[in-house]
Chains A and B, each alone.
Chain A
Amino acid sequence: MLRNFLIALVLASFGFIFLNLYNSYEPKTELTGIAAHYAENGASEVGAANLVTAVVVSYRSFDTLGEITILFLTAAIISFFLKLSNEDENKVIIHKGTSEILKTASQLLIPLIFLFGVYVFINGHLTPGGGFQGGAIIASGVVLAIMANPNMTINHTVIVWVESLSGVTVVIIGVLGIILGGGFLDSTLDGYGLGEFGTVFSAGTIPVIYSLVGLKVGAEISNILNKYQKSQKES
């Protein structure tokens, strides 16, 4: 009883705070400060049509590096946490087969889902989307594959190599920014050019960085899924 009362009290006070915030909220009418700078100079400085991508990968790419690190840490902690003993690792569980519809449909859909994921992260600087979204789409294809065939094993070596190589390459491109550009992770390198605005090969190194981020995120999420799937063997 007391518990319910306390919960109601907490929710009511949150509601009160939010109501006050809502009532005192005045919608913006124009861009101010740094947003105005991004809107005005984003196209000429960075060359990315999608200004959100320009902010994420060029102006604030430290954030993105931090995000990649957080995802990597999550995958590492889950690997550590769901680690199996050697006995369990070698155990073979035969799952019940799934329905014919799911199997057949997955054979058709998985390549298309992967293709769509690649499209989303390659065009991250032109259309809504980007590395994280594309990586998540690729991982959703992996989920479908696991659901259609629960006995499948994901090749751990390939995932680890894709993940490490793309992570290292992103940092190398970042360091190149110190030498050829304006600073660490600067996407406009001297001699590389911005390219024609609005085409795939534009915006300096943004497409390269975002493609690598997409591969890395896809590999990391697949790694997490692999751990979840394997932990079924735990006795």
Chain B
Amino acid sequence: METLELGKIGLLIGFLLVIVGFWGILQQKNIIKIIVSFTILNTGINLVMVALGYIKGRTAPIIDDSVEQLANHNVINAIVDPVPQALVLTAIVIGFGVTSLLLAYAMKLFRAKKTLEINQFNDLKW
């Protein structure tokens, strides 16, 4: 079996996590488990984005001695793409905001019905 490159492994695991997250959102009945599925989905997408910026044999985009040695003082040939990593930083913060809002809603919903089973919240169902 041919060995997978690190970037491809990241891509595969990221896609798998996205599918697991979607499965959890659609299948689970407990609101807390749905929120956990949201964060898994979020992590998967972040992992895919970081994996897309990966370049084989290169190191993190932090310029220090090891980078300088790796490419004969030519940074451009030594580091992976910094832009996806910066975007993922933004995405993580937004994911944090969404998760904390979801948890606040879950607390309010629990106060209203004393349960977290999503099937009990059928007021808008017809």
CB within 8 Å of B: which residues of A? 7, 10-11, 14-15, 18, 21-22, 25, 27-31, 34-36, 38-40, 42-43, 49-52, 54-56, 60, 63-64, 66-67, 70-71, 73-74, 77-78, 81-82, 126-128, 130, 132, 136, 198, 224, 227-228, 231, 234
Q: Would B7 and A228 count as touching, CB distance under 8 A?
A: no
Q: Would B93 and A71 count as touching, CB distance under 8 A?
A: yes
Question: B66 → chain A, closest Cβ, in Å?
Answer: 12
Question: B30 → chain A, closest Cβ, in Å?
Answer: 16
> In the complex the two chains form, what is the Cα distance from A127 to B94 in whole Å?
23
Task: Write out the residue numbers on chain A whose beta carbons fall within 8 Å of the beta carbon of B27.
Answer: 7
Task: Write out the residue numbers on chain B whose beta carbons fall within 8 Å of the beta carbon of A38.
Answer: 82-83
Q: Would A7 and B93 count as touching, CB distance under 8 A?
A: no
Task: Write out the residue numbers on chain B whose beta carbons fall within 8 Å of the beta carbon of A7.
Answer: 23, 26-27
A-B contact sample (12 more), CB < 8 A, given A22-B15, A228-B107? A7-B27, A22-B8, A35-B81, A35-B83, A43-B63, A50-B62, A51-B82, A52-B61, A52-B82, A54-B82, A71-B96, A126-B62
Mask for B9-46, Cβ within 8 A of A = 1, else 0? Answer: 00110010011001100110000000000000000000
Q: Closest residue of chain B to A64, judged by CB?
A: B90
Task: Write out the residue numbers on chain B whose beta carbons fall within 8 Å of the beta carbon of A66.
Answer: 90
> In the complex the two chains form, what is the Cα distance from A21 to B8 in whole Å?
11
How would you classify the secondary structure of chain B's contact residues: helix, strand, loop or mixed? Answer: helix
Which of B62, B75, B86 is within 8 Å of A127, CB to CB? B62
Cβ-based interface call for B49 (8 A): no
Q: Would A27 and B15 count as touching, CB distance under 8 A?
A: no
Query: Can you name 20 A-B pairs with beta carbons within 8 Å?
Result: A7-B23, A11-B22, A14-B22, A22-B11, A25-B11, A39-B76, A39-B79, A43-B75, A52-B85, A52-B89, A54-B82, A55-B83, A55-B86, A67-B93, A77-B101, A78-B100, A78-B101, A130-B89, A132-B93, A228-B104
> In the complex the two chains form, what is the Cα distance from A102 to B23 in whole Å?
37
How would you classify the secondary structure of chain A's contact residues: helix, strand, loop or mixed? Answer: helix
Q: Closest residue of chain A to B99, judged by CB?
A: A74
> In the complex the two chains form, what is the Cα distance from A74 to B48 in whole Å?
26
A51-B79 in contact given A30-B55, A128-B60 (Cβ < 8 Å): yes
Q: Would A29 and B55 count as touching, CB distance under 8 A?
A: yes
Cβ-based interface call for B115 (8 A): no
Task: Write out the residue numbers on chain B whose beta carbons fall within 8 Å of the beta carbon of A52.
Answer: 61-62, 82, 85-86, 89
Cβ-based interface call for B103 (8 A): yes
Task: Write out the residue numbers on chain A whose beta carbons fall within 8 Å of the beta carbon of B114.
Answer: none
